[in-house]
Amino acid sequence: MRSMKSSLKIRDKLLIFVYISSSIISERLNISGGSFQNDKFLDINPMLVFGNIGPKQCIKDCMLHYGCNAVNYDNKRLNCELLAFTSPNYTLLDWKGHYFTEINELVQDENSCWPNPCRGKTKCEADFNNQYICVTYNYSYINPTEGLVISSTLYPGYYPHNNRRAWSFETQYGRRIVIHFYAFSTQSCHDVLKIYTSSDKSSPIRLCGTYIPGDILSDDNALHIEFSSDHSVRYYGFSINLYTIKA
């Protein structure tokens, strides 16, 4: 079990910069084809969010999750968003340091999980003798040995009008999730961040304005976050870090 001090050290490690290639080629992950669009971001609610992983693993995770057809990748914070969208007409936002790609042109060596045989809200897991298991998922899982940074701050610094985004997180039983704020700036009483600190999603904490909140601790091993903005004034948004501690 990790202490609060250890968790803070982990949080600092997330800001290490790594280079991301415009061409997705991986021998280790057996993925080829396709390309990232530099400094682009598709602003829709993600299926799942993963922290502290590389761009090639982000693509791999998308291929394993049924319904995922694109990813957003944050090159600075090493965050991966798995996306599922149906409209062929979408508009990408400019966001420096982010990368977007669809996976329809990506291929990998044929195996028990490719092409993906699973259906529904499941992830394909390889089994022995070229068999597979379809594992149901509900939340973005936070590994106790890692942290996760999420941001709704657009470059050069304004979130969109009428923005609606949501994230759900879960960690091991016996642990709780801590939210630490790096930045916070929204239109007071109009653009609101709501935080549900328990799995039953009751009595959310509502945050708005320009004061950076203190750390928020979940009541159990689950957490749900929602952000909404209206049609008028835009501010800089927020950037937060999630990590876990022993309950």
Instruction: Considering the domain delimited by 17-136, tell me its CATH architecture.
Output: 3-Layer(bba) Sandwich (3.50)
- Class in CATH terms, 140-246: mainly beta
Residue 182 or residue 51, greater confidence: 182
pLDDT at 145: 65
Exposure of 151 by Cβ count < 10 A (0-12 exposed, 13-18 middle, 19+ buried)?
A: buried
> Is the pLDDT reported for residue 19 higher than 50?
no
The answer, yes or no, to whether residue 20 has pLDDT greater than 60, is: no
Query: 162-199 pLDDT, tens per residue?
Result: 888 888 888 887 889 999 998 999 999 899 999 999 88
The whole-chain average pLDDT of the chain stands at: 80
Nearest to 105 by CA among 162, 24, 214: 24
Q: Which residues pair with residue 151 across a beta bridge?
A: 239
What's the rounded mean pLDDT across residues 32-40? 86
Specify whether the CB–CB gap between 103 and 116 falls below 8 A: no
What mean pLDDT is predicted for residues 208-215? 94
Domain residue extents for the chain: 17-136, 140-246
For residue range 72-128, what is the model confidence (pLDDT) as tens digits?
A: 999 888 888 999 988 878 889 888 889 999 998 887 878 889 889 999 888 898 877
Q: Tell how many helices (H) and how many strands (E) occur in the chain.
A: 2, 18
Predicted confidence band at 40 (pLDDT cuts at 50, 70, 90)?
Answer: very high
% the chain with pLDDT above 70: 84
Q: Whole-model pTM above 0.85?
A: no
